[in-house]
Structures are given as C-alpha cells and as structure tokens.
Copies of this chain bind each other. A is one copy, B any other.
Amino acid sequence: MQAIIEYLKQNKARFVEDLCDYVRFPSVSAQPQHRSDLHACAAWLVKHCRQIGLNARLCPTQGHPIVVAKTPAPRKRAGRVPHFVVYGHYDVQPPEPIDLWISPPFEPRVKGRSLFGRGASDNKGQNLAHLKAVQAYLKTGTPLPCDITFVIEGEEEVGSSSLARFLRAHRNELNCDAVVISDTGMPTPKHPALTYALRGIAAFELTLRGPAHDLHSGIFGGTVDNPAMALSQMLGKLRDNNGRVAIPGFYDDVQRLSAYERKQFKRLPFDERDYRKFLGVPKLFGERGHTPIEQRSARPTLEINGLTSGYQGEGNKTIVPAWARAKITTRLVPNQNPAKIIKSVRQHLKKLCPPTVRMELKTGHGAKPYIVSPTSLQAQAALRALKSAFGCEPVLIREGGSIPIVNDFKKILRAESLMLGLALPDDNAHSPNEKFNLDNFAKGQLMSACLWQELSRC
C-alpha cells in the first residue's frame, strides 16, 4: 500500500486538474440541448479510463451512453478473485438559477479546501476518486486483489431509465460480489459513513367527489357532505397522537433496530436545537419512543404532500366544493413491502370513507426499502477502509430517502450495495454553488484503495 499512498500524494494536484476537466462538461441530462455535452463527457471518460490503464468502452442506450471500464486481467492468477462493480454517474443536475452562483457552474474553481462547480460532488468527484485509486494500483504495478468494473451512467438525475435494461443485458459480465457506490453523504469531515439502509416509498392520490359541481354554500350548504371536510376527517385519522401511522398492519413487517444500530446512531453528531432551528419549526414532532435520527431514517412515515380543494384565491368564495384531493406518500423501512402497504392503505381508506362521497385512489409505483446488514463481513470491511483513510471512527447511517437503483442491483445482479458517500451536508448538491471538499476527494481515493484490500479478504 505504501507505493499507492505515495502515488496518490504525488499526483494530488494533477488529479484535481483531472476533476476540473471532468466538471467542465455541462453534462445536464435533463436538458435536451446538452445531449452532445453528455456524449463528449462520456467520450472523455472512456479516454481517461484508457489512459489509466482500464479497458473502457462506450455503451449506447436509448438515452445517454453508459461508460463501462474494467481492470485488465493479469497474465497469471491463482484461482478465483472477487469482482466488484463501482457505480457512478457523469450526468449532473441543471445549474439554474445561474445568477446565484458565485462562479460559473461549468468553470470549476478551487476556493479554500473546496472545488466549486456543478457535478463536483454529485457525482463526478466521487466516482473519479475510485478511478484514481485504481489508477494508483495500475500505475505503480501493485497487484489488485480483485477485478473491478466501473459502470458510470448518464441518466441518474433523470431517473436512470436505461440502467435496469443495461444490467439485464450485461448480467453475466456484471456478475459481482458487491456494488460500491459513492453517491451519498457523510455527516461531517470527521464522520466518514457507511450508508447501510434506505427507506422505500409508496405514493397515493386520494380524491373524494361530492356534488356534481361546486355548490352555493348558502343555498345548499347543510344538506350535503363537504368533500373537503370528509377528506380532512379521513386524513386526520391516519395518524394517532403518538405520531404513529394509524393503519392496521402498517408496522407488521418493520424490522426493529438492533441494539448495535441504536448504539451506532447515538454516535452520530446531532443537536436537536440546531436541527429545529435549521428546519424553522416551533417544535419537533415524530413517532414517540424514537429519536429524531431514528424517526427520519429507520421508521416508516405517512406524509400528506399536497391538498387541493375548492377556492384557493384571495378572500372567500362561499361554496361547497365538488371535490377534494390529497397527495400522500408513505416512506417504508425494511422489511415493509410497498405492494402490501398499498393494499392496507387502500382497505383502510375504503373503510374510513363515508357513503356521502365517492372515493378514488390512484397509487404510484412503489420502491422497496433497502438494507445491507451493518454487521456483515463486507460492511465491516468497508468500515475498516473508511477508518484507515479518514483516520477516525466511521459511522453507520440509514438514509431516509430512496435510491431505486440499489434494488435493481440486488434484483438483477443479486449483489448488495455498499454506499460510501463522500459528500458533506453543505456541498450544495442540486443547488447553486455545488462544491466538493478536496480533502474528501483525496481521502476518498485512499479509502477506495484500502477498500479493495479489505473487501477481497472477506
């Protein structure tokens, strides 16, 4: 490892230059006018991978191309070696609103310890760190203990619509022991993190219809149910006073936090007062018996995302509205099943709905929650790699959001994902002035270099 550490140190400035070259491509997948920029970025990436010593190719898709780069097979090798896939994406979020940027989004600039530019942390800096670690192995002639295949796509910010098809078509080639993803976050520079679980989701649109048209509340009010009132009463019954979702069976499959997990969560930096002030709420509120960290990552929720009914303008309009609608999402945790939850929610809403209105329920596609055991050999190996590189004890975190592709990796490649994010909370992902901490860039390279050693020993 000494040669690798030395190589990474000596090439530090050059690697920042490489990252600048990468960030300079306005590879905005959501904007059609950037189609050729995405292609140019992918082509640059293939060329860069080849210069590093990887066998790289551009794989066309119905959308933007996917870059595949593999470590070369050594001449002679004893027995089977492990194979890992590193997933990343070269597409970026739109930079708008441009006038809020302190420097142009696609003219990367180093200020202090950070590189500013759209895509610097999400995700170019993070996937480049892994490429640089492999470059160090290859350029110093250090034997890699495993095969590595990089899969870097160009549609992550627009829903990864080509990825599942690509994984299915290349199932054999991508057959692997684990998928490594650096596209999540770490709480502070002193808290490198393994994200071992994600919440799933199930979405609903509930509409109650009453009278055929909005009615004059003076002439007719009092003789018909008000769909907005019926909706309020139904919605109000979906959460109890303890902040728990009041739908029969909702918690049946929730995996309880282990003592180990709870202990790990206690190590996370968290100041309730700061958090409350940051959110701007008068008081925090969540499921009784759980800490905010547990509530937002390891506990399921039901949220009303939107309400629409009747008159919404200035002043008053004296009507009984014809209909009322709520957008609802449930966040699910292991081992809740979206299909089962959708069924329970539908059944319960039907039961709650009074005969005075007609109910319509649309359900969006669900995403399963995800978990890889934090005590598994691979997870523990990842934690050791984090500790070696960052020089401090890593933390284990669950993230409250959903990353649907990890379910694809599991379903199609039958591989677990290890999420080792290098982004800091103030990196402004998806916002103006996105940046990437260059210490994290360097430590990320080292972490990746250690990771292949640790993972290959599992």
Contact = CB atoms under 8 A, between A and B. Distances in A.
Contact of A306 (B312, B331, B401): B312
A318 B303 CA distance: 8
Residue of A218, A236, A297, A358 ringed by the most chain B CB atoms within 10 A: A218
A257 B219 CA distance: 18
Contacts of A261: none
Contact of A287 (B222, B235, B282, B299): B222
A331 B222 contact: yes
Contacts of A203: 316, 318
Given A292-B223, A306-B309, A399 B356 contact: no
A303 B282 contact: no
Nearest to A185: B219
B280 A212 contact: yes
A358 B282 CA distance: 7
Nearest to A312: B308
Contact of A400 (B219, B287, B311, B364): B219
Category for how many chain A residues contact B: 35 or more
B228 A400 contact: no
A30 B133 CA distance: 74
18 contacts: A212-B280, A217-B305, A222-B286, A222-B287, A223-B295, A224-B281, A226-B303, A228-B235, A228-B304, A229-B238, A229-B303, A232-B304, A303-B320, A305-B318, A305-B319, A307-B307, A311-B327, A312-B327
Interface of A: 199, 201, 203, 205, 210-213, 215-226, 228-229, 231-239, 275, 279-287, 292, 295-297, 299, 301, 303-312, 315-321, 324-327, 329, 331, 354-358, 364, 399-402
Given A223-B285, A316-B327, 7 more contacts: A219-B296, A224-B281, A234-B236, A304-B321, A305-B319, A308-B308, A310-B327
